[in-house]
């Protein structure tokens, strides 16, 4: 049995293709909400804050589920867990496609958030059935197609909503997910659990889920509402208490959800720190660029509509998809450290330049292309490198932790960008001032430069 796991010829292009198509469909379903938030606000009669909640619900669920899904895949087999999670995602898509109001739509988004767990589960399947070098390339392909789905979702959300309804934005990708899941079920060989005789550390699962949920909800609340210091302190205490409880439980568990010795390895924790820094900087870019396209004021801004903004953001989305596929290959050839350094330099230089030059739309388009490519190759290189650096039985939880770190980093960057824009809003027009965008771009550049410092500090660990 172990020989089948490490054999480089046990799965072929059809199996990898089925995983890739599933990732493409999932990326599409995930991304249709972003350009449709104004439409959903009008159709459902909800406020902008409630519209933001629609977008954040999937992210929060994904952050909670990603490490849990990876651990379940390590224990029970990647294919078995993947198929079950896709059943939940499909149910969520169908619920959203018939949602008559906001609560039902949020329920659908909660179920769809499970899709984030598909990435670490796909990594488990690829790593078990391919040798290290080929698995890095395959991981890059799966991530690239997931990112590519974001391009598709952004592009088709408007036309589908106009020709059918906003319900169709959820229904069509869900049908594709169901078909791709059936293909994976038929084509992908079963991977037997590596530690089927051990128990799931459910206290650890609940505490980690609670920590992530409290952190994500606290992040959204703190950055979107004027809370008193006491309330902010209370949220921080809850997060720290849950995290501390999780560490205590994991140290004492006979079969912990996360082996803290693995997390303490320099290669693992440095990858988590770098992924977080890279994703945070990119999250700020994700928020600030569309805002600058939208705003219309004397001397700055462009006053563009949703369709035009989507078209201008497509080149960046394409660059992100390409970078994800290149990231695995680059990590294999040059090593993750060299890839990260290159991406950090490009991002920092781009953001500093954009802080000074942002008077033409093409400048923003180029900035999005460069930063998306840099962030994509960096985080994918770290994912691919980690998947081949840890023990086989820990692939799911290790990559799951990196995926959730990436999600949290992007969420933090988006919220920080929003806070900067809100703090710099003109009191009369309530629009972000030009100085707010300049500050945001400069801070994003500094965050990118911070990753260079992290690489220097952890040089030996990243190379390992």
> 404-451, pLDDT tens digit by residue?
788 778 877 877 887 787 777 777 766 778 888 999 999 999 998 888
Tokens of 424: 């710099």
pLDDT confidence of residue 404: 75
Rounded alpha-carbon distances, angstroms, from residue 394 to 63, 72, 238, 386, 387: 18, 11, 29, 10, 9
| Mean pLDDT, range 298-311, rounded to an integer | 75
pLDDT mean over 10-33: 80
pLDDT confidence of residue 38: 66
Once rounded to an integer, what is the mean pLDDT over residues 352-381? Answer: 90
Q: Report residue 255: phi and psi, to 5°.
A: -135, 80
pLDDT of the residue at 2 = 41
* Residue 156 CA: distances (Å) to CA of 321, 330, 343: 17, 31, 30
Quickly state the pLDDT bin for 354 (edges 50, 70, 90).
very high
| Residue 4 banded pLDDT, cuts 50, 70, 90 | very low
3-state secondary structure of 355: helix
Alpha carbons 123 and 35: distance in angstroms, whole number: 29
Q: pTM here?
A: 0.71
Query: How high is the pLDDT of residue 113?
Result: 86
Quote the CA–CA distance of 207 and 40 in Å, as a whole number: 34
How far, in Å, CA of 355 to CA of 332, rounded? 34
Query: Percentage of residues in the chain with pLDDT exceeding 90?
Result: 14
CB 30 within 8 A of CB 13: no
User: Which pLDDT score is estimated for 223?
Assistant: 64
Write the pLDDT tens digit of every residue in 268-286.
788 888 888 888 998 888 8
Q: For residues 377 and 320, is the Cβ–Cβ distance under 8 A?
A: no
- Does residue 279 contact residue 379 with C-beta atoms inside 8 Å? yes
Whether 11 has a pLDDT exceeding 70, the answer reads no
Predicted local distance difference test score (pLDDT) of residue 145: 78
Tokens linked to 129: 């059935």
Predicted pLDDT of residue 368: 92
Average pLDDT over residues 17-25: 85
pLDDT, residue 257, reads 67
pLDDT band per the 50, 70, 90 thresholds, residue 8: very low
Note the pLDDT tens digit of each residue in 142-200: 777 787 788 888 778 878 887 888 899 899 999 999 999 998 888 877 776 655 545 66
206-241: per-residue pLDDT in tens? 887 788 778 767 776 776 566 777 888 888 899 899
Q: Which residue has the higher pLDDT, 419 or 459?
A: 419
Q: Which residues, in sequence order, are bridge partners of residue 301?
A: 296
Q: Is residue 349 over pLDDT 90? A: yes
Looking at residue 463, what is its pLDDT? Answer: 52
Whether 12 shows a pLDDT value over 70: the answer reads no
Is the pLDDT reported for residue 389 higher than 70? no
Name the average pLDDT for the chain.
79
Question: How many Cβ atoms sit within 10 Å of the Cβ of residue 456?
Answer: 11
- Average pLDDT over every residue of 52-77: 73
């Amino acid at each position: 049995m172990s020989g089948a796991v490490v054999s480089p010829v046990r799965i072929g292009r059809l199996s990898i293709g089925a995983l890739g198509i599933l990732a493409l469909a999932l990326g599409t379903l995930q991304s249709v909400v972003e350009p449709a938030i104004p439409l959903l606000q009008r159709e459902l009669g909800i406020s902008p804050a409630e519209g933001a909640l629609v977008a954040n619900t999937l992210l929060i669920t994904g952050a909670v589920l990603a490490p849990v899904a990876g651990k379940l895949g390590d224990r029970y087999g990647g294919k078995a867990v993947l198929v079950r999670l896709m059943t939940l995602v499909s149910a969520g898509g169908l619920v959203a496609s018939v949602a008559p109001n906001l609560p039902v739509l949020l329920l659908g988004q909660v179920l769809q958030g499970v899709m984030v767990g598909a990435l670490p589960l796909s990594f488990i399947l690829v790593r078990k059935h391919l040798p290290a070098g080929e698995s890095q390339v395959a991981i890059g392909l799966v991530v690239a197609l997931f990112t590519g789905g974001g391009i598709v979702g952004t592009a088709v959300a408007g036309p589908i909503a106009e020709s059918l309804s906003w319900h169709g934005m959820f229904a069509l990708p869900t049908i594709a997910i169901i078909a791709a899941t059936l293909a994976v079920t038929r084509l992908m060989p079963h991977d037997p659990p590596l530690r089927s005789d051990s128990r799931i550390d459910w206290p650890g699962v609940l505490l980690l889920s609670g920590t992530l949920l409290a952190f994500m909800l606290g992040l959204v609340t703190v950055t979107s509402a004027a809370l008193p210091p006491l309330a902010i302190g209370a949220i921080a205490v809850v997060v720290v208490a849950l995290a501390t409880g999780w560490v205590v439980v994991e140290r004492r568990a006979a079969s912990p959800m996360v082996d803290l010795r693995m997390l303490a390895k320099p290669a693992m924790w440095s990858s988590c720190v770098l992924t977080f820094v890279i994703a945070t900087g990119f999250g700020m870019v994700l928020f600030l660029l569309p805002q600058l396209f939208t705003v219309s004021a004397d001397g700055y801004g462009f006053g563009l509509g949703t369709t035009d903004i989507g078209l201008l953001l497509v080149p960046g989305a394409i660059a992100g998809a390409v970078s994800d596929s290149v990231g695995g290959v680059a990590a294999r050839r040059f090593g993750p450290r060299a890839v990260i350094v290159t991406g950090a330099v490009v991002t920092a230089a781009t953001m500093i330049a954009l802080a000074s030059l942002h008077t033409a739309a093409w400048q923003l388009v180029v900035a999005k292309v460069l930063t998306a490519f840099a962030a994509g190759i960096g985080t994918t290189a770290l994912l691919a490198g980690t998947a081949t650096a840890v023990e086989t039985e820990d692939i799911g939880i290790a990559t799951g932790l990196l995926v959730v770190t990436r999600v949290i980093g992007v969420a933090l960057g988006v919220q920080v960008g929003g806070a900067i824009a809100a703090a710099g809003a003109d009191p009369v027009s309530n629009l972000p001032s030009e100085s707010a965008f300049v500050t945001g771009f400069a801070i994003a550049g500094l965050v990118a430069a911070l990753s260079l410092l992290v690489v220097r500090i952890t040089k030996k660990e990243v190379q390992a």
